[in-house]
């Protein structure tokens, strides 16, 4: 029997507010354990929450960015469960009446055609604390409550994805948007952008959903793809062996490359949701919606379309360059120097990003200012250097932070464009290779590349390749006469 996977993602994004969702404690990452807490986020008796307006604005921005509906009234609820890093014994979240509903996101998976994924809801909630299992002795777990109360939005997709690649494309697009909006730093390793995947199988051609398993601890795009692929294979093997998939939460072990059962999957009634008695319903004023709409930046899809029309870039190149707001801004600064946009795109994507990727760095850590990369591209265009020599110039620019003119002058890399000087070198090469000259005259036209290569070798690669090619061809053809 052929099976079809059904995949939905639940994505948590930590909002980049200065303070927590319901109190004034700092929401920053990395402070000494249990120093950013107060009676409100610890849930001490008599303390009352006050909603963070900036967190609401950020949630509304995200809703607008995914073409969703902003509910004029939403309600905070208590989600009851007991865990060591949840000091109140409940999480303040939203359930029946979330702030955002009915969105959609267009994605471009690597393994298929563009796809639109529905977004069921985006709700606001507070984060729990963090359990620390290492460094305190065997069998001892410590609790850091600094993260308790940090504002989150949870984005729940429709079960519209059918392959791991579709899930990764959706997640990457969300990641790009939250960073464009500057509402989340997107750091997956630190957990400020994290994902749970719901995966089930059904016989192909049927409509009813199969029993799903939820995969947790997915902290990279690669792990999302690996975990979903593993779960698809696990469920198919189980069904084909005559077993039944059980609804459960499974923890992904990236090192082992497999998941393991964590607990039975809870349903909504297990959490005993009820409206939070300490918080009034949230009425979102229209002025806040308009404020959020006015602060929306140019988003990735719109920027990609503009790069294609304004700079003449291919779809793939424009997609790469608009992956992050920082990369897009860098490229536009390169193009603003007057450099050829297509050549500038190539040098940004291939040479610069290639060098940064080798070091595990991103564009914000580039040792080459955009203006210097633009100047390098211009030196290729004005034939001060060739494209090949430009790679030699790029290396000290990257390693030492130098501008291209300084490197060209220091290394003596200026391109030779003097026709008489090139002709003299060509004459030398022809005189030194009489056998190859005769072979060329006898019809071996491919030897033209040999002569060009010898000339470039004698000039240290500094002769203008187009001039060399033409002069060699003219002089050899003259001998045929």
Residue 100's H or E segment, with its range, is strand 100-107
Kindly tell me if the per-residue pLDDT of 416 is higher than 70. Answer: no
pLDDT band at 418 (very low <50, low <70, confident <90, very high): low
Which sign, positive or negative, has the C-alpha torsion 155, 158, 161, 166? Answer: negative
How high is the pLDDT of residue 190? Answer: 84
Specify the pLDDT at position 374.
97
Find out whether 293 and 320 touch, Cβ atoms under 8 Å. Answer: no
DSSP 419-478: HHHHHHHHHHHHHH-HHHHHHHHTT-GGGHHHHHHHHHHHTTT-B-HHHHHHHHHHHHHH
pLDDT of residue 37: 94
Report the chain's mean pLDDT, rounded to a whole number: 91
Would you say residue 429 has pLDDT above 80?
A: yes
pLDDT band at 262, cuts 50/70/90? confident
28 has pLDDT over 90: no
Distance from first CA to last CA of the chain, Å, rounded? 74
| C-beta of residue 260 within 8 angstroms of C-beta of residue 250 | yes
- pLDDT score of 94 more than 70: yes
Burial class (CB in 10 A: 0-12, 13-18, 19+), 145: buried
* Res 267: pLDDT: 67
| Three-class SS state of 384 | coil
% of the chain with per-residue pLDDT over 70:
98
Helix axes 434-441, 419-432, angle to 10 degrees: 90
Q: What is the mean pLDDT of residues 121-135?
A: 90
Is the predicted pLDDT of residue 113 greater than 90, yes or no?
no
Tell me: pLDDT of 86 over 80. yes
Q: What is the pLDDT of residues 336-363, one digit of tens each?
A: 999 999 999 999 999 999 999 999 999 9
Q: State the Cα–Cα distance between residues 265 and 212, nearest whole angstrom.
A: 9
Taking only the tens place, the pLDDT of each residue in 451-461 is: 888 878 877 77
- Pick the range with the lowest mean pLDDT from 210-219, 254-263, 393-402, 409-418: 409-418
Whether the pLDDT of residue 423 is over 90: the answer is no
- What is the per-residue pLDDT across 275-286, written as a single tens digit (0 to 9) for each? 999 999 999 999
Q: Give yes or no for residue 60 having a pLDDT over 90.
A: yes
Please check the confidence at residue 148 and state whether its pLDDT lies above 90.
yes
**How many residues belong to the chain?**
481
Q: How much is the pLDDT for 266?
A: 64
- Six token digits for residue 227: 């975990």
């Amino acid at each position: 029997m052929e099976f079809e996977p059904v995949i939905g993602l639940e994505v948590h994004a930590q909002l980049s507010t200065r303070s927590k969702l319901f109190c004034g404690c700092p929401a920053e990452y990395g402070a000494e354990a249990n120093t950013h807490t107060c009676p409100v986020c610890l849930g001490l008796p008599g303390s009352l929450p006050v909603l963070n307006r900036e967190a609401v604005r950020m949630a509304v921005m995200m809703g607008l960015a995914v073409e969703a509906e902003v509910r004029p009234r939403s309600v905070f609820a208590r989600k009851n469960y007991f865990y060591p890093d949840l000091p109140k014994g409940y999480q303040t979240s939203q359930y029946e009446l979330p702030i955002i509903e009915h969105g959609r996101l267009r994605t471009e998976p690597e393994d298929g055609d563009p796809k639109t994924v529905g977004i069921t809801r985006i709700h606001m909630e507070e984060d729990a604390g963090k359990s620390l299992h290492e460094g305190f002795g065997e069998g001892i777990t410590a609790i850091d409550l600094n993260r308790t109360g940090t504002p989150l939005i949870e984005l729940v997709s429709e079960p519209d994805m059918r392959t791991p690649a579709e899930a990764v494309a959706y997640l990457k697009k969300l990641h790009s948007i939250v960073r464009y909006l500057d509402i989340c730093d997107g750091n997956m390793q630190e957990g400020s952008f994290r994902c749970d995947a719901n995966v089930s199988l059904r016989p192909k051609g049927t409509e009813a959903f199969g029993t799903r398993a939820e995969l947790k601890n997915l902290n990279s795009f690669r792990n999302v793809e690996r975990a979903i692929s593993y779960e698809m294979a696990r469920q198919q093997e189980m069904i084909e062996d005559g077993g039944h998939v059980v609804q459960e939460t499974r923890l992904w072990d990236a090192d082992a490359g497999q998941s393991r059962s964590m607990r039975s999957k809870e349903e909504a009634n297990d959490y005993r949701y009820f409206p939070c008695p300490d918080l009034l319903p949230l009425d979102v004023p229209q002025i806040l919606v308009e404020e959020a709409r006015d602060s929306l930046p140019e988003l990735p899809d719109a920027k990609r379309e503009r790069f294609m029309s304004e700079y003449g870039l291919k779809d793939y190149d424009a997609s790469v360059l608009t992956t992050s707001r920082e990369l897009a801004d860098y490229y536009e600064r390169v193009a603003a120097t007057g450099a050829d946009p297509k050549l500038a795109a190539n040098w940004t994507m291939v040479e610069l990003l290639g060098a940064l990727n080798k070091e595990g760095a991103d564009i914000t850590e580039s040792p080459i200012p955009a203006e210097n990369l633009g100047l390098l591209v211009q030196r290729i265009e004005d034939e001060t250097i060739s494209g090949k020599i430009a790679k030699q110039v790029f290396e000290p620019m990257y390693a030492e932070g130098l501008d291209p003119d300084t490197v060209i002058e220091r290394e003596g890399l200026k391109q030779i464009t003097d026709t008489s000087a090139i002709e003299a070198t060509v004459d030398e090469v022809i005189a030194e290779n009489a056998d190859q000259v005769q072979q060329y005259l006898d019809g071996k036209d491919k030897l033209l590349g040999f002569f060009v290569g010898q000339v470039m070798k004698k000039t240290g690669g500094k002769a203008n390749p187009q001039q060399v090619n033409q002069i060699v061809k003219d002089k050899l053809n003259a001998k045929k006469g």
